[in-house]
Structure 1
Amino acid sequence: MFKTSPLLLKFMAMLLGLALALWLFVWAWQKLDRPDLAQWWRAVPMWVWAAATATWACTFILRAIRLRQEWQWKRHISLRTALHVVLLHNSAALLMPLRSGELGYPLLVRKVFDASWPESLRSLLWLRFQDAVVLGFLALLFWPFAPPVAAALIAAPVLIALLASRQYLEKLVLACRGRVEWFGLLWHGRDRPTGWLLSLGNWLLKIAVVALLLQVILQESISLGMQASVSAALGGEIAALLPIQGPASLGTYETGVWLFSGLPLEQAPLLGMAALLVHLFCLGISLLLALLMAAVDGPAFWRAPNEKNRVDPIQN
């Protein structure tokens, strides 16, 4: 009986994901008011699109550096390999509904770093916790409409993360061990301060790209100040992190942009269309980068030789 090789199955799955992304673009393009979108696209100077593309690509480099730092205790990998992992994981998170593509992270790090399921899942939880804390901190800075109770709830994890040092967290976890089993998930002894800075840099660059494009696109339609554009971009990124959306966060992203912009309801459709154009641009760049990286590396990425693991300093 004919047997399909695992490598062929993985390659077919990648092609299926790319086909799904292409279908998504075609479907969205048919649903939009194309003359307005084309006019908006032409109104943005090419150097702005080029600068936005380069800046958006830099966010993946920061995330790749963060991934290398996250797992350097286990194995040293090249920046190129880390970038491949980040781009594949991001594509899975974009294309799968309800952020189920996040499960691609433990699968990839188990392949690349030979990590166990508990190690990979704990790493994913920690990275997402860092992202949530950073976005919460930015929400306090750029969204001044939050009530005091909401601001306090957002500020609490920020204070815990920034003020509690590693040694105090370790003592707290050891004291709770055996009493609060799930508390151990919050302990991540391999974290370094630069991880927070890399997460902050990633989100600041992404927000800057979206805010700039919204400003340029809507400069003749809506009086959207810099504060409002930054808040709107932040709202879109926060909405995209919530596990309540379909593939590529279409719909929920645009809703988050409008909610955080502070604009009245009658201006929501115009802002939503501009946000959708920016959203599709960022989505296209992300998937294109993943396609280019997959084309360059090819099957060699999946045949990466296993190296001898380094000793975990925390467990010794």
Structure 2
Amino acid sequence: MISRKGRLPSMLGWVAVLLLLGLAIAWVGPARLIAPWLSIDPWALLVAMVLMMASYLIRTLRITRYFPDRLAGHFWSAFRLSSWHNLMNNLLPMRSGELAFPVLMQRYYRLSPLESMPVLFWFRLLDLQVVLLIGLAAGGHLLGLSTGILGVLFVLLLLTPIVAYGLRHWLHGVLARRDGRLAQLGVTMLSSLPDRPMRLMGTLFWTWVNWLVKLTALGWVLAALAPVGFAAGVLGAIGGDLTTVLPVHAPGGFGTYEAGVALLLAPLVDEPRKVLAAAVNLHLFVLGTALLAAGLALFIRRPSPR
């Protein structure tokens, strides 16, 4: 149970965030926030929501395919786990929502944190790589990057998982030849990471599919909310999503998500109020779909303890 002293910083954080959000809405104006939603085609918005839900299903496939022996026949309970992990990640500050993944993996499938945490770290590394690559492809030229710099960044990012895969094998071999508790702990954690090329390629495949579907939905929504094209919409959506991958994350993502969107959209849009209004609305769309997925997941039974 959390003491009053422990709850105070969290409460003050939420008060500060809600105050900043209120000031942002007052500065932008409620009418400016509502206006874009009134002009969006409802059917197109429904398609965007379906794509977001599809990305949650694909994210579940990434988990179940990574642990085929332990999660075989448990797709929907894994969807429940993934949806609540995603919601906690969106709502809780400073990446603390990530703790939901190892906690639920142990509760549902008896996978220890030593087995699940390295996998979560691996997923986040691939998420960051794919988001940056798509961002460079969608808006590298909009940010004024030369072809040479773009080429170098592409190569470095493409090599990142391969280098990490090689380091895993090398470090695993080094630790396996040593005695001691720390060495054995390292071997256990490294054993959870991809140990063969097909496992590496499978995780990469589902990560790419997930982000292509998700950013297609978010890019279209942002392009409908702000006076920008689809490529710029994808770029702005990436700015917001990067704040959910990086350690700096405010309660609910309020403020940090909008800052990420505005940072990449500001050079492309002259009116700051339009940028901020679009960022707030996109964030509300993301939180709304996350709440919808987590709410639907409540109707899914948890797996019985093994």
Give the TM interval when normalised to the shorter protein. 0.7 to 0.9
How far apart, CA to CA, are the structure 1 residues paired with 2:111 and 2:195? 16
**What letter corresponds to residue 305 of structure 2 in structure 1?**
N
Q: Which residue of structure 1 aligns with residue 212 of structure 2? A: 204
Identify if the C-alpha distance between structure 1 residues 119 and 282 changes in structure 2 by more than 3 Å, giving closer, same or farther.
same
Residue pair 2:219, 2:231 contacting (<8 A) in 1 also: no
Instruction: Flag structure 2 segments of 5+ consecutive residues without an equivalent.
Output: 1-13
Q: Which residue of structure 1 aligns with residue 297 of structure 2? A: 293
Matches within 5 A, 1:1-316: 32=25, 33-144=29-140, 145=143, 146=145, 152=152, 155-162=155-162, 171-177=169-175, 185=190, 187-189=193-195, 191-218=199-226, 222=227, 224-261=228-265, 263=267, 266-294=270-298, 296-297=299-300, 300-301=301-302, 304-307=303-306
Provide Cα deviations, 1:258-281, integer angstroms capped at 9, x if missing partner.
222362685233112112112101
Residue pair 2:85, 2:100 contacting (<8 A) in 1 also: yes
Deviation at 1:56, TM superposition (A): 0.6
Deviation at 1:59, TM superposition (A): 0.5
How far apart, CA to CA, are the structure 1 residues paired with 2:151 and 2:242? 15
SS of match in other structure, 2:223 = helix
Deviation at 1:174, TM superposition (A): 4.0
98-107 or 269-278: bigger deviation: 269-278
SS of match in other structure, 2:267 = coil
Residue pair 2:223, 2:232 contacting (<8 A) in 1 also: no
How far apart, CA to CA, are the structure 2 residues paired with 1:139 and 1:205? 14
How far apart, CA to CA, are the structure 2 residues paired with 1:234 and 1:122? 24
SS of match in other structure, 1:74 = helix
How far apart, CA to CA, are the structure 2 residues paired with 1:101 and 1:242? 13
Residue pair 1:60, 1:86 contacting (<8 A) in 2 also: yes
Provide Cα deviations, 1:114-160, integer angstroms capped at 9, x if missing partner.
11221011111111111112122223322323577797567435214
Identify if the C-alpha distance between structure 1 residues 157 and 278 changes in structure 2 by more than 3 Å, giving closer, same or farther.
closer
Identify if the C-alpha distance between structure 1 residues 75 and 36 changes in structure 2 by more than 3 Å, giving closer, same or farther.
closer
Residue pair 1:64, 1:79 contacting (<8 A) in 2 also: yes
How far apart, CA to CA, are the structure 2 residues paired with 1:69 and 1:226? 32
* Aligned length, in residue pairs: 275
268-277 or 86-95: bigger deviation: 268-277
Deviation at 1:212, TM superposition (A): 0.8
How far apart, CA to CA, are the structure 2 residues paired with 1:153 and 1:75? 36
How far apart, CA to CA, are the structure 1 residues paired with 2:115 and 2:230? 41
Deviation at 1:71, TM superposition (A): 1.5
Q: Which residue of structure 1 aligns with residue 10 of structure 2? A: none
The alignment's TM-score, normalised by the length of structure 2, stands at 0.77
Residue pair 1:137, 1:155 contacting (<8 A) in 2 also: no
Identify if the C-alpha distance between structure 1 residues 272 and 199 changes in structure 2 by more than 3 Å, giving closer, same or farther.
same
Deviation at 1:112, TM superposition (A): 1.7
Q: Which residue of structure 2 aligns with residue 311 of structure 1? A: none
24-33 or 135-144: bigger deviation: 24-33
The alignment's TM-score, normalised by the length of structure 1, stands at 0.75
Identify if the C-alpha distance between structure 1 residues 50 and 187 changes in structure 2 by more than 3 Å, giving closer, same or farther.
closer
269-278 or 135-144: bigger deviation: 135-144
Paired-residue identity, %: 24
How far apart, CA to CA, are the structure 1 residues paired with 2:150 and 2:247? 20
